[in-house]
Every structure is written in C-alpha cells, then in structure tokens.
Amino acid sequence: MPSYARLGDSYYDTQMSDDGAMIPVVSVGSYGATMARWFGLTDAEAKGVFPYLYAEGAVSATNVGFMKGVA
C-alpha cells in the first residue's frame, strides 16, 4: 500500500501520482500468469496468454509470489 505522506508539493511515495492516484507496480496479467503457472503453464506459455506482464522490484513478472510452491 503506498504512503499518502507528502513531501512538498508531491507525494513521498513514487507509487503515487501528483493528483493522488495510485500507480500499480504489478500488472493484473502478472497475477494471472502466476496462477497459470500453478496450473502447469511454463513461463513462455504464460507470457503468450498474458502478453502485458509487468512487475517492478524483486518479483518476477510471471511469479509475483502470492502462491506458495509455484516454482
């Protein structure tokens, strides 16, 4: 969850735009790709099903880490 703390005229957290909208750091497709991998798809197949994958930071775009045991 981003912080609503302000630093001058803008928000302290880079996940917040200047008008107060939250900017996602993981795409919905990346969550879908993680579930698809749990169902047995490979990374390449998951990327074919969910072409718009994006994840910022230390997480993989095809495994955002919310399902344990997904290799």
Mean pLDDT, range 19-25, rounded to an integer: 78
d(CA 22, CA 32): 21
Handedness of CA 39, 40, 45, 46 (dihedral sign): positive
Delimit the domains of the chain by residue range: 24-65
Q: What is the per-residue pLDDT for 25?
A: 81
Global pTM?
0.66
Return contacts of 35-43, CB within 8 angstroms, 24+ apart. Answer: 35/67, 37/62, 37/63, 37/70, 38/67, 38/69, 38/70
53: how many CB neighbours lie within 10 A of its CB? 22
Length of the chain: 71
**Res 71 pLDDT > 70:** no
